[in-house]
Structure 1
Amino acid sequence: MTGSPIIRIAAKGDGVAEDGRHVSGAVPGDTMLPDGTLEPGPHRATPPCRHFARCGGCQLQHADDAALLQFVTDRVTSAAASQDISVCELLETHLSPPQSRRRATLHGLKAGGKFLLGFREGGSHRIVDIAECPILRLELFALVPRLRTMLARIASEAPVDVALTLTDQGVDCTLSGVTLDGLGPTEALLDFARDHGLARLSLDQGYGGETLWEPEPVTVTLGGVAVGFPEQSFLQPTEDGEAILAADARAFTDGAGTIADLFSGLGTFAFALSGAAKVLAVEAARDAHLACKSAANAQRLPVHALHRDLFRNPLQPEEISRFDAILLDPPRAGAREQIAAVANSEAKRVVYISCNPASWARDAKTLIDAGFRLEKLRPVGQFRWSTHVELTSLFAR
């Protein structure tokens, strides 16, 4: 009995058959038979997690590494092709390994006499009470059953969010939706933080995080520099992913004496580049800007931190033209206004790091129309087994 082969994985994780049909749960190499059944192919893998297909954290655990690498690569190259952008050199795709995720937000709820803690189901607010997780760093997952026990004692019936980040000092934990009624719950939280060696424990009751426990200032090391870590600040999801992004940033800006790092955050790329260049680090979030500025000043590094909202007030062409290279790492929406200013400047080299191939492609088209070439492009899959894809790119003219 013949059928239609599955040839690729679509952006949301469905398999796409040769005849154009989208098939849930299919991977390249499978075959969709005429009777509607799916014949498994060589790239089908046994999901490593019992919660797969319910938990919304992963969509592609049924695909082997070859299929995952191809999916990540295709997402990025297809985005370029959608804008008729040719790639001079496609670099090797990077895929983060299992148990590498160093930050995550879990959701909790007291229901039926027990406390559920985990990720939400795909397309639902229902919580999957996780008993395992092959994506989280072991240091983070080790806290899950202990947090579940503690929150069962002190949480009300309201939903709870638990943000976990692995820092230099250990796990940073912020709880949202927990109301402390009396001294008992407060003492329980402090005992928990001390007994489990948390780097920091914070409580967000709708007005921002309030630190309850922080034995020493919490930092993350970026480019060899310890940078103060404000609560729930952005951090690349994996150490290996951050390393490949930073390595490309260094290679793509090699020889530049001055670099503008736009949407710089805590300074992930600014500090990685500051050994060979003077860097302007521009960031809108005040706490991240101040953390970057403080670390640069303490280490006497050639990083000048500038507080500026690049969506409302992008660097202008004459400002951009002063730099040998421009690096951008914008949010998922991209950087339409800032890229337009770059395109109208005298900039010759642009490094664009993106977490959204679609918005990147739109911005890339603006650069191409202004005379840039896409010299190098690397697909990056930090969010293993998910449909979230990132990339690094180098444009020159």
Structure 2
Amino acid sequence: MSQTSQIIRIAARGDGVTADGQHVTHGVPGDVLRADGTLEQGPHHVEPPCVHFGKCGGCQLQHADEEALRQFVTERVTFQAEKHDITIGELLPTHLSPTKSRRRATLHALRTAKGAVLGFREGNSHQIVDLEECHILRTELTELLQPLRQFVARYGRERPVDTELTLVDQGVDCSIKHLELEGLEATEAAVEFAQTNGLARLTLDQGYGPETQWEPQPVTITLSGRPVGMPPGSFLQATQDGEDALVADAKAWIGDTASVADLFSGLGTFAFALANPAKILAAEASRDAHLACKAAGAGLPMAAMHRDLFRNPLQPEELNRFEAVLLDPPRAGAKEQIGQIAASSVNRVVYISCNPVSWARDCTKLVEAGFRLEKLRPVGQFRWSTHVELASYWTRG
């Protein structure tokens, strides 16, 4: 092995990769793999800020500086485009969310002989890392770690408990699954926990679906200045700055378009940003999200449609009524819907994606139909994670 086996990039799972293809744990571009297998740290290798790094599965890249992190996020997107022979018109600057900006997270907890542990799981393991600190979550969420730990220590059992925390307009929305409370005392303690910690809502799922225990005011999330009802478990962009970046690109690309079909619209993250002057169709499969979007859209030039776009995608004759289409599907992508878009007469498409792999696979159909990738922006909302997102703008004609 040469002493000059330099790390040139970070692979999809976070390992450093040398010029000759060797994978090195915790390697970043500029590091050098020595002949004895040790790693000589280069200028882009930094000291991880969190005491849990290397064990906690929440972060994989805290040892990479800002430049190396930006390179990773960018290359995760551009590599998939190149792999599928997609020509990038303009590669826009990569957006990275700052530290302590995550406004939603799912944590795991387990009662133990000494109390309880609470945190993310270890990488490739079901073991829970008991968080002492966290450098990715908003402060409003980390302030709840110890109170939650104490609550699980008192009422938890032998099975793991899942806790979803989301920062909403009224504070923190807390949803706890697999925590079975028996008796009036335990139920009253749950309400007291919510009151004492100023929760916006406390929802318990004891195996029969989510049941709200505490919600002094209807929980909302403000999207483009419009408060929207937030059903338990609803999807929300991971960070406010990430949402702002994606919405800004969508508005710039849609421009003065008169009519837009917003597919996989969720609560209306993009629909409310684009509505007025544009007329919007917001199509969503989740009934709760659809109804919340519909209620909040009263008075706007917007129609909400409850439709499963995987099983029943909009057909070309339906899409032809719109000047542009925006879609933001789940990680699996939108293979069937993209096929219908390609077969339609629509010439402007904004595709937001949380998975570069399914995005590139889908977009080969757009290329075959004559679309060009005009603009592409990689987005790293999940800081120090290997999870990467993007915004893309396609045109034809």
TM-score, normalised with respect to structure 2: 0.99
Query: Given the alignment of the two structures, is residue 268 of structure 1 paired with residue 269 of structure 2, yes or no?
Result: yes
Query: Given the alignment of the two structures, is residue 259 of structure 1 paired with residue 260 of structure 2, yes or no?
Result: yes
In structure 1, the residue matched to 2:26 is 25
The letter for the 2-side match of 1:52 is F
In structure 1, the residue matched to 2:47 is 46
The 3-state SS of whatever aligns with 1:128 is coil
Paired positions, count:
395
Shift of 1:67: 0.3
Query: Given the alignment of the two structures, is residue 337 of structure 1 paired with residue 336 of structure 2, yes or no?
Result: yes
Query: Given the alignment of the two structures, is residue 153 of structure 1 paired with residue 154 of structure 2, yes or no?
Result: yes
Q: Distance in 2 between matches of 1:206 and 1:276?
A: 45
In structure 2, the residue matched to 1:319 is 318
The 3-state SS of whatever aligns with 2:182 is coil
In structure 2, the residue matched to 1:366 is 365
The letter for the 1-side match of 2:53 is F
Q: Distance in 2 between matches of 1:2 and 1:22?
A: 15
Q: Distance in 1 between matches of 2:151 and 2:12?
A: 38
Q: Distance in 1 between matches of 2:196 and 2:38?
A: 52
The 3-state SS of whatever aligns with 1:184 is helix
Shift of 1:32: 0.5
In structure 2, the residue matched to 1:101 is 102
The 3-state SS of whatever aligns with 1:351 is strand
The letter for the 2-side match of 1:341 is Q
In structure 1, the residue matched to 2:219 is 218
Q: Distance in 2 between matches of 1:163 and 1:31?
A: 40
In structure 2, the residue matched to 1:121 is 122
In structure 1, the residue matched to 2:355 is 356
User: Where do 1:181-330 residues align within 5 Å?
Assistant: 181-297=182-298, 300-330=299-329
The 3-state SS of whatever aligns with 1:152 is helix
**Which 4+ residue blocks in structure 1 deviate beyond 2 angstroms?**
none
Which runs of 5 or more residues in structure 2 are unaligned? Answer: none
The 3-state SS of whatever aligns with 1:276 is coil
The letter for the 1-side match of 2:64 is A
Shift of 1:113: 2.3
Q: Distance in 2 between matches of 1:375 and 1:207?
A: 47
Q: Distance in 2 between matches of 1:384 and 1:275?
A: 33
The letter for the 2-side match of 1:393 is S
Shift of 1:62: 0.4
Q: Deviations over 1:116-140 (max 9, x none)?
A: 0001000000000000000000000
The 3-state SS of whatever aligns with 1:129 is coil
Shift of 1:320: 0.7
Query: Given the alignment of the two structures, is residue 59 of structure 1 paired with residue 32 of structure 2, yes or no?
Result: no
Query: Given the alignment of the two structures, is residue 73 of structure 1 paired with residue 97 of structure 2, yes or no?
Result: no
Q: Distance in 2 between matches of 1:328 and 1:157?
A: 42
The 8 Å contact of residues 110 and 152 in structure 2, kept in 1 or not, is answered as no
Shift of 1:272: 0.6
Q: Which moved more, 1:199-208 or 1:98-107?
A: 199-208
The 8 Å contact of residues 112 and 153 in structure 2, kept in 1 or not, is answered as no
The 3-state SS of whatever aligns with 2:281 is strand
In structure 1, the residue matched to 2:138 is 137
Q: Distance in 1 between matches of 2:113 and 2:188?
A: 26
In structure 2, the residue matched to 1:89 is 90
The letter for the 1-side match of 2:194 is A
Q: Distance in 2 between matches of 1:18 and 1:56?
A: 27
Shift of 1:275: 2.7
Q: Distance in 2 between matches of 1:176 and 1:328?
A: 30
The letter for the 1-side match of 2:329 is P
